[in-house]
Structure 1
Amino acid sequence: MPGTLPEPFATWFAAQGWTPRPHQLAMLDAARAGESVLLIAPTGGGKTLAGFLPSLVDLAANPRPGLHTLYVSPLKALATDIARNLTRPVHEMSLNIGIEARTGDTPANRRARQRATPPQILLTTPESLAVLISLPDAPAFFGSLGCIVMDEVHALAGTKRGDQLALGVSRLRTIAPAARRIGLSATVAHPGPIQAYTGAPSRIEVADGAPPELRMTLPDGRLSWSGHMGLEAAPKVIDQIRRAAMTIVFVNTRAQAELMFQALWKLNDTTLPIALHHGSLEVAQRRKVEAAMAAGSLRAVVATSSLDLGIDWGGVDQVIQVGAPKGVSRLLQRVGRANHRMDEASNAILVPANRFEVLECEAAILGVAAHELDGDPPRPGGLDVLAQHLLGLACSTPFHPDQAYAEVTSAAPYAALSRTDFDDVLRFVEDGGYALRAYDRWKKLFRDSEGRMHVRNARTAAAHRMNIGTIVEAPVLKVRLAAKRGPGASLGEIEEYFVNMLRPGDTFMFAGRLLRFLRIREMAAECAEGGDGDPMVPAYAGGRLPLTTNLADRVRGLMQDPDKWDLFPDQVRDWLRLQRGVSRLPGRTDLLIETFPRGDRWYLVAYCFEGRNAHQTLGMLVTKRMERAGYAPLGFVATDYVLGIWSANPPRNVATLFAEDMLGDDLESWMADSSMLKRTFRNVAVIGGLIQRNLPGAEKNRRQVTVNSDLIYDVLRRHQPDHILLRATRADAATGLTDVGRIAGMLARVKGHIVHMVLSRVSPLAVPVLLDIGRESVRTDDDEEALLAEAEAIIAEATGEAEPPAAGRQVPAVHRANLARRSSGAQKTLVPRRAATRQSDMFS
């Protein structure tokens, strides 16, 4: 009967004290009509149950073997959590429904059993789905499929993992054309494109639930001018943890997670159970933490984005976000982990790490109140992902190009793919393309007399399955505790570049432990517990989250509206007033650029607010122009908020340095000459299958992969500049690392509205970027002492309490970095040696 729950579901709901929500019943009605649907519902609104309820009802009424429902999530932890949560009602209703998860963490024997006897409901990730589709028995395995549930689609659409999932679903639609498609999401800024991504003809949107309760808390004493770790607030954070039943402390990077966990543990005099969770920890440790959270035996967990999607930790009553959230939608997603119920307000505390982050946190709070979701609409699908998918199709069963093209273009990211581009990708997979076809190693497909594509041999298929995936991380080494006999206990993985910085005896923080590095043995970093000296903390490439356009615009608007300054603490209000007195404040539609001397250097600070990636590209382009103009630029630093450049000569006529034409020949020549394109090509080549990280019986090391990709890149540029992977590389560079679109939008917006302030000293707003300059140069304790002293001098100059250094006095580069910690009352022991906690702010 429409709009009702059948037995035994009605009885089970009543036993829980629940009444089915209207959207849950609407999803049930849509399933009865055979419709595919995108459901957009607030966190805690029961959307996951709404997605599964039709499948459970169908299987309860018509039990049958074989795979019925495939659930795909962005996170392994989410798939595991959903499997655990679904098992309870199935058990309590005595339903004979098999529910299992299949991810990269699933043991091989269980994966084999699942293929032989599929559960009715299988929970997986895009990567594991791609593996299953590449297997010869894929048509039989998926032949009985009746429903495909795509969870947290907003986190996938527009990414390469999302491209991979869309292509996988297009294949499933061919194998099981009657299968319904369900998209689930809580935060969608662009519902139309997301609906197109899921391929659902209808959409159900649920009104927002209770608004979250958001507030900020700041450390005692002086508020930091610079830095992004937020460790000064650890005493406030641990105090809030003591007051709540269970807390998730979200941070933005894995290095920050390790540092914050240690800072909290040092203050945890009552030994509250506090855990650590991020993607580089060993699977067993992550599972242990997740199980402890589900059991309610933890008081807090420090986590990165590894826990911020969809997971229902019912006992969490508080979320603390340390560091600026970088986006309204991201903040809402994380806040929704607390009081995971639609009709109860989520309680969240924002802990900014510095003065600019105070502005960003307040802007995010206002954005949440205004229901202003952010994020970019999905972009076209990547050609390298398509290459990987086509090889996977051939590994499963031969296909005809015409049929494959029709199938691929049924996926929204590839709907506009031209037949020429498709044929070029297929030709690359077949034999490497014109420039590489003479080499047997890149011949992976062959055509039969009917034009169908076949995989060349079983070894090619095996190598493909070992290299499936679109996440290209830096090469990693296992971290093991040394043992007298055999390999010691594994704690997780860290990137190879970090291990290369270590000398025997060096200490570093990992997995919540203080470790002493001993040696590298058999692709593992062997360590012992304990050690002396200030520990380093591993950083991870790509760890910093991008600042969204909408949030950046809100920050500029707040700075321009003194009526809103009462929202800020006294120190921030005084900072802005002082800036307005000695210079100007950045406007919403203009571009403020300050230039000033200090010692024998000149500084240019541009308040762009376009995010770190855009500022890095802008810095490379502007310094090239400064070099041609004779200003002798010496370097630059890019933060989410500003671009700072230092030079030997004073820059003049700065408006010409930021003219729109820099995105023409200047951009092309820089991209052609820079190593950034080579690094981007390496990732594209790995995803596209040109470079294989893993081979049957062997594993390539980082140097082999990099050298091979660099050599091939040079060959292709000389002999086939229009090669499909070079085209994919340029597309990635334009939308990823370089963020050309944001730069173009900014340059168009500020054309004719560039305000150049020529100052005699550093302005208050420029202090943070001066404190960032030279951060990478820290090497010894003596250097840190000099840096801390220099910090006091810079702040005193900006506030008018001291004169800047006389002209001609050298300001050591090592003195311009990582300085605000001492001035904000932080302990020196929290400052890692050799600046290992962050990546360089400049392209090499």
Structure 2
Amino acid sequence: MRSVPDVFNRWFALRGWSIHPHQFAMLERADDPATLLIAPTGGGKTLAGFLPTLVDLAQGGHDGLHTLYISPLKALAADIRRNLTTPITEMDLPIRVEDRTGDTPASRKRRQRADPPHILLTTPESLALLTSYEDAPRIFKGLRRVVVDEIHALAESKRGDQLMLALARLQTLCPDLRRVGLSATVEDPGAIARLLARHPDPCAILEADPGPEPDISMLETDQAPPWAGGGAAYAIPAVLEQVKAHTTTLIFHNTRAQAELFFHNLWLANEDALPIGIHHGSLDRQQRERVEGAMQRGELRAIVCTGSLDLGIDWGDVDLVIQIGAPKNVKRLVQRIGRANHRYNAPSKALLVPANRFEIVECRAALQAVRDHDLDGEPRGPGPRDVLCQHILITACAGPFEADALYAEVTSAGAYADLSRADFDACLEFCATGGYALRAYDQWQRLKQMPDGRWHLRDPRSARLIRMNIGTIQDTDTLKVRMRRTRGGKPLGEIEEGFAASLTPGDTFLIGGQIVRFESLREMVVEVSRDKGRTPKIATFMGTKFATSTQLSDRILSMLAQDDWPELPTHARDWLHLQRDLSSLPEKGRLLIESFPHDGREHVCIYGFAGRNAQQTLGLLVTKRMEEMGLAPLGFVSTDYATLIWGLEPMTDPAPIFAPDALRDGLEQWLAGNALMKRTFRASATIAGLIQRNTPQARKTGRQATFSSDILYDTLVKYDPGHLLLDITRQEAMRGLIDFGRIEQMLSRVGGRIDLLRLARVTPFAAPLFLEAGRTPVEGAAQERLLAEETAKLMQLAGLDREGLQSRA
């Protein structure tokens, strides 16, 4: 058992602190193979994770790298370095701490490889790159501990899968390596523990005192939310009053475009000139760092932000968090709430601001879920094979390897524990030859087997290209935005390539909270100038539009089953009662479908509560079935809760349309020729190393990469339909943007109990969908019928119809 050295006890005493029980427990369990610590934000979990390292290193005598710290965010690594520097300096400990991310200068990276610090703070991508070097065994020779911060965030993505494969490689290099995972929000501690541990080793789970319950409620506003939309402009006056009443406020948004628009409107209403800033991932790095610095110095009263500030940067002066728009995910909401009052045993204060009427219900359901400690989360499934392919190539960069040894290493990573040898060999064969249809091309002949059975790079020079393309983050194609007529062109950030292509000189848009005017596109850089206008276009920034989680959807349906809703505002209660009186409220074990005429068209509204992606897919599949049955659909629009379809004929019998086998068959046919499959293929092919976005010459533009991936996709579909990457693509599409699993869950929950209500007019629940953006047209018989009818009317007006021609004759 380890004890706390006197120098640490004196330091704690000088600060008026005492060591928390969970921090001491981490020190006691320092020799466990793996430990997961779940502690509230502000509970000192970072110090708990590092305490065994600091105690070890305080005694001196350790040369080289002792502890590796891995976080999802570069900014978080820099923040931890600052926080570690304080106790190390004040206790005069002989410890070097450095960070290594994509922003670290190349000269420092070279020095770190030659002379590693005692503690290195990095990201999954930088760690994967380090393991690819031939001198990796020397770099990690003395490594004793790995600390993975915010492990819940990494567990939800391919970045986490890549990290766990890298940890498996480190464990081979350092058999006695100890693993530590830190998190404040975990819905299934056992699942995270299995991910963290070396399979089949156990992982201890320590849970700290969760502290007081958060002070969380909905923001009261004089004006009711609008029927549709996500901007929440109606709440600006009330939000400003809250900013004035608090020291520092974080205002979270679900998308970057909404954050830009809200910041713009907030600034226009900010008559007291309160210092406020904006922070999201599409802004230039220097601008983000300026905002972070101003926050740390306490110079900002509010910061409008997105997921870029979800995780544990320690800003003690934040005393309020405001979530604009329904959170969509309870776990994400809890994480964001934790940004307020970053102190132990101090309740976090947060306010929810629904962006529209239906989000009032969702926000109320989310509040109840937080109070019940009911976090949501979907099982990840097996480790993705495109990430495994990249890992095999990374391993080859470091030197020759044996397939049996690498397979054993890979299956020690939790997500890959059930990987079959056949699937591993298929990935190895792909890395070696590119697969059956591509093996004739030299560029995909990357690995070769030596006489002794080991595998190595066919051309050692290819290691550089592989290293340049390490990573699993697939950013949407973006272009840099710079100010024109300034020395060097001041960088502002990035916008999507598709949005840039839609601009003409003189168009205005928002970026970094300011309105700029598009001037020109030069050498893949968008040149802009300042504009004093007040009504800009809005840049369509990359970033996920979150779908409401399954658990939250279930809670909403449970709320709708109540007789009354005294906890809701009067206008929301009246809306729900009116829906019940005029139609019906959706139920958990049934599927409600409304059918009604409006504006000369037949409409169908399907209340699936399956999340935005699944409802969008449902719209595609149902309109396809309606087209086949002669119901002539014209288009549809979807939200997280429902899909509205319009066309020329009413739906009279939903059973054959919603038959699970028929929907799945329709999905297969739709996927076969759909552009979404090519988009998904491009992402997986890039991760797996078939397509290189980065080359020694230059980074490919989105159009160049799309062109090459589309050719590859079409080639494989035609000549090698069983290719590994096509199988990966289909699997990724099904659980990604299409989210067909949610549709199947919904159909299973309903079990054929479908209520089709034929009504005389638009219903209260359907009305907001008429105001939703993102309508999808359906090309088919309805368009031809309308064209024929319009042609007949025009001919009749012109006297050119058959009767008119006969009378003239």
Alignment partner, residue 795 of structure 2: none
Task: Give the whole-Å Cα distance in 1 for the aligned partners of 2:486 and 2:771.
Answer: 46
Q: Which runs of 5+ in 2 are unaligned?
A: 778-788, 791-809
3-state DSSP of counterpart to 1:664: helix
Indicate conservation of the 8 Å contact 2:225/2:354, yes or no: no
Deviations 1:370-408 (A, max 9, x none): 110111123211111111111111111211111111111
Deviations 1:300-319 (A, max 9, x none): 11110001112211111110
Alignment partner, residue 121 of structure 2: 123
Task: Give the whole-Å Cα distance in 1 for the aligned partners of 2:699 and 2:633.
Answer: 42
Task: Give the whole-Å Cα distance in 2 for the aligned partners of 1:215 and 1:699.
Answer: 47
Q: 1:773 Cα deviation (Å)?
A: 5.5
Alignment partner, residue 623 of structure 2: 623
3-state DSSP of counterpart to 1:426: helix
Alignment partner, residue 248 of structure 2: 246
User: Which residue identity lines up with residue 557 of structure 1 in the other structure?
Assistant: S
Residues 156-195 of structure 1: pairs in structure 2 closer than 5 A: 156-195=154-193
User: Which residue identity lines up with residue 551 of structure 2 in the other structure?
Assistant: N
3-state DSSP of counterpart to 2:656: helix
Match for 1:312 among 308, 311, 314?
A: 314
Task: Give the whole-Å Cα distance in 2 for the aligned partners of 1:457 and 1:93.
Answer: 50
Indicate conservation of the 8 Å contact 1:30/1:36, yes or no: no
User: Which residue identity lines up with residue 39 of structure 1 in the other structure?
Assistant: L
Residues 541-690 of structure 1: pairs in structure 2 closer than 5 A: 541-563=542-564, 565-690=565-690
Task: Give the whole-Å Cα distance in 2 for the aligned partners of 1:314 and 1:662.
Answer: 55
Relative to structure 1, the CA distance from residue 718 to residue 590 in structure 2 (aligned partners, 3 Å threshold; closer, same or farther) is: same
3-state DSSP of counterpart to 1:594: strand
Alignment partner, residue 232 of structure 2: 230
Alignment partner, residue 397 of structure 1: 399
Identical columns (%):
53
Task: Give the whole-Å Cα distance in 1 for the aligned partners of 2:385 and 2:626.
Answer: 36
Task: Give the whole-Å Cα distance in 2 for the aligned partners of 1:461 and 1:272.
Answer: 52
Indicate conservation of the 8 Å contact 2:150/2:183, yes or no: yes
Q: 1:12 Cα deviation (Å)?
A: 1.0
Indicate conservation of the 8 Å contact 2:635/2:776, yes or no: no
3-state DSSP of counterpart to 1:566: coil
Alignment partner, residue 517 of structure 1: 518
Residues 801-840 of structure 1: pairs in structure 2 closer than 5 A: none
User: Which residue identity lines up with residue 758 of structure 2 in the other structure?
Assistant: V
Residues 201-600 of structure 1: pairs in structure 2 closer than 5 A: 201-483=203-485, 487-532=488-533, 534-563=535-564, 565-600=565-600
3-state DSSP of counterpart to 2:686: helix
Indicate conservation of the 8 Å contact 2:495/2:542, yes or no: no
Structure 1 residue 75 corresponds to structure 2 residue 73: yes
Task: Give the whole-Å Cα distance in 1 for the aligned partners of 2:625 and 2:748.
Answer: 18
User: Which residue identity lines up with residue 502 of structure 1 in the other structure?
Assistant: L
User: Which residue identity lines up with residue 30 of structure 1 in the other structure?
Assistant: R
User: Which residue identity lines up with residue 595 of structure 1 in the other structure?
Assistant: S
Indicate conservation of the 8 Å contact 2:619/2:645, yes or no: yes
Q: 1:714 Cα deviation (Å)?
A: 1.3
Task: Give the whole-Å Cα distance in 2 for the aligned partners of 1:169 and 1:704.
Answer: 34
Task: Give the whole-Å Cα distance in 1 for the aligned partners of 2:6 and 2:36.
Answer: 26
Structure 1 residue 748 corresponds to structure 2 residue 768: no
Indicate conservation of the 8 Å contact 1:507/1:533, yes or no: no
Indicate conservation of the 8 Å contact 2:282/2:542, yes or no: no
Relative to structure 1, the CA distance from residue 662 to residue 188 in structure 2 (aligned partners, 3 Å threshold; closer, same or farther) is: farther
3-state DSSP of counterpart to 2:374: coil
Q: 1:542 Cα deviation (Å)?
A: 4.3
Indicate conservation of the 8 Å contact 1:447/1:454, yes or no: yes
Indicate conservation of the 8 Å contact 1:158/1:380, yes or no: no
Alignment partner, residue 16 of structure 1: 15
Indicate conservation of the 8 Å contact 2:593/2:607, yes or no: yes
Task: Give the whole-Å Cα distance in 1 for the aligned partners of 2:542 and 2:638.
Answer: 16
Indicate conservation of the 8 Å contact 2:36/2:206, yes or no: yes
Alignment partner, residue 793 of structure 2: none
Indicate conservation of the 8 Å contact 1:190/1:377, yes or no: no
Q: 1:541 Cα deviation (Å)?
A: 4.1
3-state DSSP of counterpart to 2:712: helix
Match for 2:54 among 53, 56, 71?
A: 56
3-state DSSP of counterpart to 2:766: helix
Relative to structure 1, the CA distance from residue 593 to residue 28 in structure 2 (aligned partners, 3 Å threshold; closer, same or farther) is: same
Q: 1:80 Cα deviation (Å)?
A: 1.2
Task: Give the whole-Å Cα distance in 2 for the aligned partners of 1:249 and 1:94.
Answer: 39
Q: 1:219 Cα deviation (Å)?
A: 3.8
Q: 1:654 Cα deviation (Å)?
A: 1.7
Please tell me the root mean square deviation across aligned C-alpha atoms, in Å.
1.7
User: Which residue identity lines up with residue 537 of structure 1 in the other structure?
Assistant: I
Indicate conservation of the 8 Å contact 1:505/1:531, yes or no: no
Task: Give the whole-Å Cα distance in 2 for the aligned partners of 1:533 and 1:248.
Answer: 24
Task: Give the whole-Å Cα distance in 1 for the aligned partners of 2:162 and 2:184.
Answer: 22
Alignment partner, residue 730 of structure 2: 730
Task: Give the whole-Å Cα distance in 1 for the aligned partners of 2:289 and 2:776.
Answer: 35
Task: Give the whole-Å Cα distance in 1 for the aligned partners of 2:239 and 2:148.
Answer: 35
Q: 1:222 Cα deviation (Å)?
A: 3.6
Alignment partner, residue 781 of structure 2: none
Alignment partner, residue 716 of structure 1: 716
Relative to structure 1, the CA distance from residue 377 to residue 467 in structure 2 (aligned partners, 3 Å threshold; closer, same or farther) is: same
Deviations 1:730-766 (A, max 9, x none): 1111211111221111101112321111111110111
Name the count of aligned residue pairs. Answer: 776
3-state DSSP of counterpart to 2:6: coil
User: Which residue identity lines up with residue 13 of structure 2 in the other structure?
Assistant: A
Q: 1:698 Cα deviation (Å)?
A: 2.3
3-state DSSP of counterpart to 1:275: strand
Indicate conservation of the 8 Å contact 1:224/1:354, yes or no: yes
Q: 1:458 Cα deviation (Å)?
A: 4.0
3-state DSSP of counterpart to 1:657: coil
TM-score (norm 1): 0.90
Question: Which moved further from structure 2: 253-262 or 108-117?
Answer: 108-117
Indicate conservation of the 8 Å contact 1:83/1:100, yes or no: yes
Relative to structure 1, the CA distance from residue 774 to residue 713 in structure 2 (aligned partners, 3 Å threshold; closer, same or farther) is: closer
Indicate conservation of the 8 Å contact 1:158/1:379, yes or no: no
Q: 1:325 Cα deviation (Å)?
A: 0.6
3-state DSSP of counterpart to 2:485: coil
User: Which residue identity lines up with residue 167 of structure 2 in the other structure?
Assistant: V
Indicate conservation of the 8 Å contact 2:637/2:776, yes or no: no
Task: Give the whole-Å Cα distance in 2 for the aligned partners of 1:380 and 1:483.
Answer: 52
Deviations 1:255-286 (A, max 9, x none): 01111111111122222111111011111111
User: Which residue identity lines up with residue 86 of structure 2 in the other structure?
Assistant: R
Question: Which moved further from structure 2: 202-211 or 742-751?
Answer: 202-211
Task: Give the whole-Å Cα distance in 2 for the aligned partners of 1:21 and 1:91.
Answer: 22
Q: 1:451 Cα deviation (Å)?
A: 1.7
Alignment partner, residue 154 of structure 1: 152
Indicate conservation of the 8 Å contact 2:23/2:45, yes or no: yes
Q: Which runs of 5+ in 1 are unaligned?
A: 778-807, 810-844
Q: 1:659 Cα deviation (Å)?
A: 2.1
Indicate conservation of the 8 Å contact 2:622/2:663, yes or no: no
User: Which residue identity lines up with residue 20 of structure 1 in the other structure?
Assistant: I
Q: 1:699 Cα deviation (Å)?
A: 2.2
Task: Give the whole-Å Cα distance in 2 for the aligned partners of 1:534 and 1:245.
Answer: 30
Alignment partner, residue 785 of structure 2: none
Q: 1:337 Cα deviation (Å)?
A: 0.4
Task: Give the whole-Å Cα distance in 1 for the aligned partners of 2:5 and 2:379.
Answer: 39
Task: Give the whole-Å Cα distance in 2 for the aligned partners of 1:253 and 1:459.
Answer: 41
Relative to structure 1, the CA distance from residue 532 to residue 270 in structure 2 (aligned partners, 3 Å threshold; closer, same or farther) is: closer
Indicate conservation of the 8 Å contact 1:223/1:571, yes or no: no
Alignment partner, residue 29 of structure 1: 28
Alignment partner, residue 833 of structure 1: none
Task: Give the whole-Å Cα distance in 1 for the aligned partners of 2:222 and 2:501.
Answer: 38
Task: Give the whole-Å Cα distance in 2 for the aligned partners of 1:560 and 1:741.
Answer: 25
Q: 1:718 Cα deviation (Å)?
A: 1.9
Task: Give the whole-Å Cα distance in 2 for the aligned partners of 1:542 and 1:492.
Answer: 14
Indicate conservation of the 8 Å contact 2:636/2:776, yes or no: no
3-state DSSP of counterpart to 2:708: helix
Task: Give the whole-Å Cα distance in 2 for the aligned partners of 1:210 and 1:5.
Answer: 28
